[in-house]
A = this chain, B = another copy of it.
Amino acid sequence: MKFCIETDPKNSWYLGTRKFDPLKIDKSETIMYQGNGYLGIRACAEEKNLQEKRDMFVAGTFDSFDDEVTELPNLPDILNIKFEIDQKIFSLSNGVIKNYHKYLNLKNGELIRQFDWIIDQKRIHFKFSRFVSMSDVHLFVSKVEVESDSDVEVKITSGIDGQVSNSGTQHLVEGDRRLYDGKIIQLRERTQRSNIELIFNVLHKIYVDEVLLNSKPHIQMDRQKIAGDYQIKLLRGQKLLFVKYANVYTGIDSDVEEDDICDTSIGDIKQHSLGTYAELLNKSARAWDLNVWQRSLVKIAAADITPQVAINFARYQLAANTPPDSRMNIASKGLTGEGYKGHTFWDTEIFMLPYFIFTMPEIARNLLRYRYLGLGGARKKAKSNGYPGAQFPWEAAWPTDGETTPPWGSADIVTGEPMKVLSGFLEQHITSDVVIAVMEYLYASEDQRFAKEMGYEIILDAAKFWASRLEWNLSQKRFEIDNVIGPDEYKEHANNNAFTNYTAHWCIQKAIEIVKLLRNSDPEMYDELNFKLDLDEVYQDWLAKVDLIYLPRPNEEGVIPQDDTYLTKKKINITPYLSDGGHAKIFKKYNLQQVDNLQVTKQADVLLLLNLFEGHFTQAVEQANWDYYEPKTTHDSSLSLSTHAILASDLHLQTKAYQYFEQGCEVDLGTNIGKTTQGLHMAAVGGIWKMVVLGFGGVRIVDGKLRIEPNLPDTWDSLQYQINWHKSLVKVFVDHDTFKVEVMGNGIEFINHGKIYRIAANSKLELPIEIQVEVND
Q: A residues touching B (Cβ–Cβ < 8 Å)?
A: 22-23, 48-51, 65-66, 68, 87, 89, 91, 93-94, 162-170, 172-174, 176-179, 192, 219, 221-225, 410-416, 418
Contacts and interface: CB of A to CB of B under 8 A. Distances in A.
B413 A179 contact: yes
B87 A23 contact: yes
B170 A162 contact: no
Contact of A93 (B23, B91, B414, B416): B91
B22 A168 contact: no
A192 B224 contact: no
A163 B410 CA distance: 16
B48 A50 contact: yes
Give the interface SS of chain A, mostly helix, strand, loop or mixed: loop
Contacts of A415: 178
Nearest to A47: B50
A416 B164 contact: no
A349 B767 CA distance: 94
B224 A170 contact: no
A167 B22 contact: no
Given A87-B23, A93-B91, A178-B416, A163 B168 contact: yes
Interface centre among A168, A412, A415 (most CB of B within 10 A): A168
A386 to B, nearest CB: 31
Contacts of A413: 177-179, 219, 221
A750 to B, nearest CB: 49
Interface centre among A48, A89, A164 (most CB of B within 10 A): A89
A141 B673 CA distance: 34
A221 B412 CA distance: 11
A192 B49 CA distance: 30
Contacts of A164: 168
A162 B222 CA distance: 23
A168 B224 contact: yes
Contact of A94 (B48, B93, B166, B418): B93
A323 B51 CA distance: 36
Nearest to A219: B413
A411 B226 CA distance: 11
21 contacts: A22-B89, A23-B89, A50-B91, A65-B170, A65-B173, A66-B173, A66-B192, A68-B174, A93-B93, A163-B167, A164-B168, A165-B170, A167-B225, A168-B172, A170-B170, A177-B411, A178-B413, A178-B414, A178-B415, A221-B410, A221-B413
A411 B178 contact: yes
A223 B167 contact: yes
Contact of A165 (B165, B177, B178, B418): B165
Nearest to A161: B168
A88 to B, nearest CB: 9
A53 to B, nearest CB: 11
A411 B166 CA distance: 26
Nearest to A166: B223
A89 B50 CA distance: 10
A497 B174 CA distance: 35
Closest A-B pairs by Cβ, 10 of them: A163-B168, A170-B170, A93-B93, A178-B416, A176-B411, A167-B223, A66-B173, A176-B416, A163-B167, A179-B413
Contacts of A225: 167-168
Nearest to A224: B168
Given A91-B50, A411-B178, A169 B170 contact: yes
